[in-house]
Structures are given as C-alpha cells and as structure tokens.
Structure 1
Amino acid sequence: MNTISDARTQEPAAATAVAGRHTLLLSDPGEPSYEVMCATLKRLGYTVIHEESGVDAIGHFSPDKYDLVITDLHLPDMGGLEVLRKIKRLSPDTPVVVLACNSEVDDVVQALRLGASDYLLKPFTDEDVIEHAVTRIMEARDLAAQNREYRHQLEERNRELHEHIELLQRDHEAGRQLQQHLLPRTPFRYPAGIEAAFRLLPSLYLSGDFVDYGLFGERFVAFYLVDVSGHGVSSALVTALIKHSIMHLLRERTLFSQLNSIDTDITSILEMINRELNSTALDKHASMFVGVVDSRARQLHYAVAGQVPMPALVTSDGARWLTGKGRPLGLFKQGEWEVRHCSLPASWRLVACSDGVLELLSGDLLQKEAKLLEVINRSRGDLDSLCAALKVDTAESFPDDITILTLRQDNP
C-alpha cells in the first residue's frame, strides 16, 4: 500500500520480513514503548507511518494505504476510541490495535466491542508480545481476505453455473417440445375403427421412450413402442434417429400394404434399427414392440425385441400377456426375432408399457408383472383408467421414463 508521507519515520523494510506492508502508528514518540513498537514493526517488514494527531491521521487515511492501524487510547486532539470508530467506518476490514495502560480496562473492553482486533498494555519491553499480536492479526486478516476472494470466486462460479443451467434448461425445453412434436396425436381413431392412444412421461426433460402409429392402406394399422437405454438427451436423440430411420425405410419401400409381406416388413424394421444402433458409438441399446393390426382379418402380427413387460391383450375373457421372444436392439448382430400372430375378437384392447411402469410397483420382477397384469385387467385396457390406477398422472417425478401405449377396437 502507499503511505502517509512522514520522511522522519520512513525506513526500508527488513530484508527477511514481508515486503510492501504499511502500518499507521498513532502514539506519542516520547513514550518509552514507542521505540520498542517501531523497532518490532520494522523488523517484521512494515513501513511505519507515524502520526501524533488523530485528525491528521484520519484526514490522510484511506483503506488501500494501510494493512494495520495502531493507536494509543490517549491522543492530544481526540481519544483512541474515536479514531477506532472512524477507521472502522472508513474501512471495516482494516485491523486496529489499541495501546492502553493497565488502568484503562473499561476502555479496552469498549474498543474490542467497537471492532478492535487486539490490545497491548503499556509499558511493554518484550518485542515478542508485539510480534505475536501483530503476526496473529495479520494472519487472520490475510485468511479473511483469502476467504473473501474464494467467496467471490465461488459466487462468480455459481453465477456462471446458474447461467449454464438456465441455458441447458432452455435447450432441454426446446428439445422436449421438438420430441413432443414428433409424437403422433393421441388419441387417434382410424377409419378401420381402431383407436390408438398413449401416455409418455419422461423422468427428465427428454425421454428415451417413443411411440408411433399409422394407417397403411385401408386395413393395416402399424405401431411401435421403443425404450432406449438410459435417460436424457442422448437417449432422446436415439429415439429421433429411430423415427427418422423408419420414415426413411418407408420412403424407400412400400411397407404394410400386402398381407403376405407383413411379417417380413416387421422383421425389416427390427433389423434396420439393430444395424443403426450397432453402427453408432453411442453405446445405446433398445427394447421394442412392433405390431400390425389387420382390421379386415381381425389379426395381430407382432414381434418383440427385449420387451419387458410383454404387451397384454384384453378381451372379454380378461387380460393375458402375449407370448414372444427376441433380443434387444443394438447388442447383437442377429436378434433372432420372430413374428407371431394373434386372432382378435370383435372387441379387444392391447396394452404395451415401457419398463419404467414396473418401477411404480413393489416386489420382484415376477410380482411386479403379476400386479401390472391385474391392474390392466381391472382397467379393461382403458388408458385413462390404467394411468389413474398406476397414479402416473399425479406423481411428481419418476425414476425412469414411463410410456403406456393402447390400441382398441370395439364391436360396432
């Protein structure tokens, strides 16, 4: 820091001490303790700026000039307590030491209440007492300054972090809206009398689950539910990749238009997505349920790829799991998928769930599947009733993405 100029008292700092520190000493140079104080401070590396007048000292004081202020309680023009008050008002962080006699205990107590860092009792002849007090005070001052700097840096980092979080949330919200835009309308009723609907609830902003359905020709309603491993942005991007790949395949080939090619079309979709996931470096795999309802022949063609839980068919006889097997997509070159067929009555419901639904139930996997089938049976495959029974619309958060896809056809 700079100094209040007093050529009579400025001397070079000791070579072994901390350089660049300045102390303002307000004391009577005629007192015996004065020389001891000056000698100790200079040995510690301080440039001592001496003032006898409190008014002059306060007039020249500024917070950036002094590391330490030492003031006698008795000055010719004002008391040391008043000097302490004014210094603390100008610079609360500047440490102040008061010099007092044994008889001034009450004033010492008052000085400590006003913010004095320490006090020294006169007369003193032992430099170690002064050195100990000054060293302790300055170490505490340096530590406090470091803490303030660390706190400032932490606040700055927190501010930057909040800005990044807000930006990330805006990006996620934009991604969520885009993903919602890619989903089909729900519910949607086709001319064939088949109604498709779904509920998709992501555990984060974006979902690793995805559904889609569409009418091909006048009799075939094709649909799928896919559950990509993981959560968040990377999984959501894979769902977009899957939809894009399927749409690209539909543009290249005429799918789901001929009864004799339905099974081959379903297998083609699974093989294509399996290749896509294996060719990426995203380390993602997926389970999938793909189906086609032939409304004229009242038959369901379907295949599963690592689907847990299995889809359930609800008829007048109750709810039952469909059968089938096939490896998840993205883990093996060949999935050994098989297309199965199921005859449909005049009225039926089909329910497919992602595995996040099982997290809403208690017990081991078999117990959870049994409870889910019971809930599906009680709800008769109705989407709103099923969601109400599982409380998916009222829960605040989920450990995993939850998707329920339903298709239904009623006897006219």
Structure 2
Amino acid sequence: MNTISDPRSAPLAATAAGGHTLLLSDPDQPSYELMCATLKRLGYTVTREESGVDAIGHFSPDKYDLVITDLHLPDMGGLEVLRKIKRLSADTPVVVLACDSEVNDVVQALRLGASDYLLKPLTDEGVIEHAVTRIAEARELAAQNRDYRHQLEERNRELHEHIELLQRDHEAGRQLQQHLLPRTPYHYPAGIEAAFRLLPSLYLSGDFVDYGLFGERFIAFYLVDVSGHGVSSALVTALIKHSIMHLLRERSLFSQLDTIDQDITSVLEMINRELIAAGLDKHASMFVGVVDSRARQLHYAVAGQVPMPALVTSDGARWLSGKGRPLGLFQRGEWEVRHCCLPASWRLVACSDGVLELLAGDLLQKEESLLQMIDRTRGDLDSLCAALKVDTADSFPDDITILTLRQDNP
C-alpha cells in the first residue's frame, strides 16, 4: 500500500486523514497527479493500491469514504471493482474514470450504483472538485437523514410508549369513574326506579349522575355536565362527587321535608364555591332534585341546564320550568327551587346537552325533536336510547348522559 507521497506507485489508491478517506485508481500519470493535487487541496489523504485485487482486499467501509476507480486496471475491469465494492458496502460512493469512447461502460457503471463519472484526460480541477464535493455533500446529507430517521424512530417509540401509558391511565380513570357511578337500574321503595345511560365522547366523561335514598321517603338525585371533555372534566366530576359526599357527612341533608328546598340550594352553592375557588376554568350545568315518595311531589332546581328535564305523564311529555345560572361562573347563581306534583304514574327524563348534538336543526328544533322522542317512548330509557341510536353509534361529539326516574301505578 502506497500513500500520496509516492506518485510513482501503481494504479489504485486509498485512506485519509481528518475523517476524509479516498480510494483512487488511475494508471494515467498526468490525470493522477491532477487528481491527487485537487484531493489534497480539498483535505483528502489518498492512498493507492497496486491492483484491483489488493484494493478490494484492503477495502473496508469504516476506512474509506469514497472509491475512485479507472475502468481499466492491470488485473481486472473497473466494473468488477465497482461490483465488489458495492457488495461489501452498498453505501460507499464510487466514481469511475473513463474515456469518451467508453460511454456504454459508463452507463453500465451508473446502473451498478456508481455515484458519478469523470472523463479522461482530466485537465480541469473544477470538474474533479465539483464531483467529489457533490458526493461528500450528498453523503453528509444522507448521514444527517439517517440520524434524523433514527431520532424520529426513537421519538415515535417513546411517543408510542407514552400513548400506551396514557391509554392505561385513561382506562384506569374510566374504571374508577364507572366505580363512582350508582347502580343502574336501581329500585327504591314505593316502586320508584332510577336508571341512567352515560356514554363518554373520550375515555373519560365530563358528565356524572348519582342518586340515593334518604330516610324512608326522599330520593335525591342529580345530573351534572362539566364543560369540556376528557381527563380535566372527569376530575371535576370526581371533585363534585367528593364535595357532595363531604357535605352529606357534615349535614343531615334531604331528611326533613321543611329543609328540602334549602338542602338543594346548599348543594348548588357549595359546588359553585368549589369550582370558583379551584380556578380550573371549568363550569358546569346541573339538575338536582328530590322526589318525596309519600307526598308524591318533586322538588328540583336547575343551574344552566340545557335541555330542561322532561316530565312524562298520561297527558304526554312536557318540559319542566325553572332557571338558574351555571355553576362556577358567578358568585350568585340566582337558583330557585320549584315543586311539581306527581301523579300515580310518571317518568322523569334529564339529558346532558350532548344529546342535542345527535339531532338536526337549531336549538329550538332539537329540543322539540327530543321532547317528541321522549313522548313517543313514554320516557323509557332503553326505548329513548334506541330512538337516539346512542347504543349503535361508534363515537360522539360530546358526552351523552340520560337520567330517568319512574314510578308506575301498581
């Protein structure tokens, strides 16, 4: 093996300093000297081999960045050198040196993977510099692309792991939220049944329902719809559930007829304070009520509820009246507790606003369509869900919740 310092050495050259290497073959002395001078000026160290066989025997991809071979060598053709180099290292660029009369061989070399070709005799340094610099820049760009691809693959792998972890967390949160919900349907004394259908638009829901028996005659319930979707809204529903349970431990709510209205207002005021104090930029609509099974009377209040709850009797379905601001936006919500006498048989239906997204038209048209569905289905939960097609839809633009209470005349 001979270095560039020995210009009399035989035709094939190799190795470099400063991270640049080159393998050169050119039996034509004038072209070789011009080639060496140009490469040296570009920062390359050039080493020649005596023959194609020796060059291939000493070649390794970690040693040489570039191969330059003449198409005519003493012991083998340049195309054969090209084939063997590419077999050893497909990414190593190869430049072939050819005469004007060797066009067919040049075309064949390019088909075999040569990066470029130079025509002899070489008389212009600029031609050599342009070819070598272009190949070096392409190699650098390819290396950058490989690094970028590797980084991208690593980021994708990390992202995939994060997504799997997030999905597991969401599934755990969903299971927890489902655990916090009451049983459905649930049967209370006096033949009253409470049931619900809750279908989140994402893993977790910003809607929540709960109900329970207090004493022997009062069945309290609520439906809350927190603004937004996903984890943050679901956490607010857990906060509301926790706050109500804490208030129930502190005070004997929904146990005395003369304090029922005050108890309903206390729940709304407490949740409103909690949402404002939390500073979560969340608000909620809510329908909260108490059925007095002995007196056959409904006590209820609404806080920004859309659509309004509907009562179904033998006369048909109608919206309940009421007004009140959403929770978490105003210090004073101006909520009012209203009362409604209940017949021997009745159905109460409350829906979150996501149900309206399943219907066509403007808000008034959607509410009218929903009331007609409630009337046709007589407030039956399964029938209403079938009419709205909530059980067969793949996804929803918003959380869907339907809460029903019913009592049938025995």
Fold equivalence (TM over 0.5): yes
* Aligned residues of 1:376 and 1:386 also touching (Cα < 8 A): yes
SS in 2 for 1:319: strand
* Counterpart residue number, 1:103: 101
Percent identity between matched residues is 87
2:3 counterpart of 1:6: yes
Name the aligned partner's letter for residue 206 of structure 1.
Answer: L
* Counterpart residue number, 1:293: 291
One of 150, 153, 156 as aligned partner of 1:155: 153
TM-score (norm 1): 0.95
SS in 1 for 2:282: coil
* Counterpart residue number, 2:24: 25
Provide the C-alpha distance between the structure 1 equivalents of 2:152 and 2:19, rounded to a whole number of angstroms.
Answer: 28
Name the aligned partner's letter for residue 381 of structure 1.
Answer: G
SS in 1 for 2:163: helix
SS in 1 for 2:269: helix
**Alpha carbon RMSD of aligned pairs, Å?**
1.4
* Counterpart residue number, 1:266: 264
* Counterpart residue number, 1:15: none
* Counterpart residue number, 2:74: 76
SS in 1 for 2:356: helix
Provide the C-alpha distance between the structure 2 equivalents of 1:156 and 1:297, rounded to a whole number of angstroms.
Answer: 67
Report which stretch shifted further, 67-76 or 30-39. 30-39
2:106 counterpart of 1:87: no
Gap change, CA 1:317 and 1:59, over 3 Å in 2 = same
* Counterpart residue number, 2:366: 368
* Aligned residues of 1:27 and 1:52 also touching (Cα < 8 A): no
Provide the C-alpha distance between the structure 2 equivalents of 1:5 and 1:302, rounded to a whole number of angstroms.
Answer: 99
* Aligned residues of 2:206 and 2:229 also touching (Cα < 8 A): yes
Name the aligned partner's letter for residue 59 of structure 1.
Answer: G
Name the aligned partner's letter for residue 3 of structure 2.
Answer: D
| Structure 2 residue ranges without an equivalent (≥5) | 8-16
* Counterpart residue number, 2:13: none
SS in 1 for 2:286: strand
2:405 counterpart of 1:407: yes
Cα offset, 1:26, TM superposition: 2.1
Name the aligned partner's letter for residue 113 of structure 1.
Answer: R
Cα offset, 1:387, TM superposition: 0.6
* Counterpart residue number, 2:245: 247
Name the aligned partner's letter for residue 90 of structure 2.
Answer: P
Provide the C-alpha distance between the structure 2 equivalents of 1:187 and 1:83, rounded to a whole number of angstroms.
Answer: 81
Provide the C-alpha distance between the structure 2 equivalents of 1:136 and 1:96, rounded to a whole number of angstroms.
Answer: 12
SS in 2 for 1:167: helix
Provide the C-alpha distance between the structure 1 equivalents of 2:6 and 2:58, rounded to a whole number of angstroms.
Answer: 16
1:379-410 Cα shifts (integer Å, max 9, x gaps)? 11011111111111111111111100000000
Gap change, CA 1:5 and 1:348, over 3 Å in 2 = farther
Provide the C-alpha distance between the structure 1 equivalents of 2:400 and 2:74, rounded to a whole number of angstroms.
Answer: 82
Provide the C-alpha distance between the structure 1 equivalents of 2:88 and 2:340, rounded to a whole number of angstroms.
Answer: 87
* Counterpart residue number, 2:140: 142
* Counterpart residue number, 1:202: 200
* Counterpart residue number, 1:215: 213
Task: Show structure 1 runs of 4+ deviating over 4 A.
Answer: none
Cα offset, 1:65, TM superposition: 1.4
| Structure 1 residue ranges without an equivalent (≥5) | 11-17
Cα offset, 1:5, TM superposition: 6.5
SS in 1 for 2:311: strand
SS in 2 for 1:104: helix
Provide the C-alpha distance between the structure 1 equivalents of 2:85 and 2:146, rounded to a whole number of angstroms.
Answer: 20
Cα offset, 1:63, TM superposition: 1.0
Q: What does 1:42-57 correspond to in 2, within 5 Å?
A: 42-57=40-55
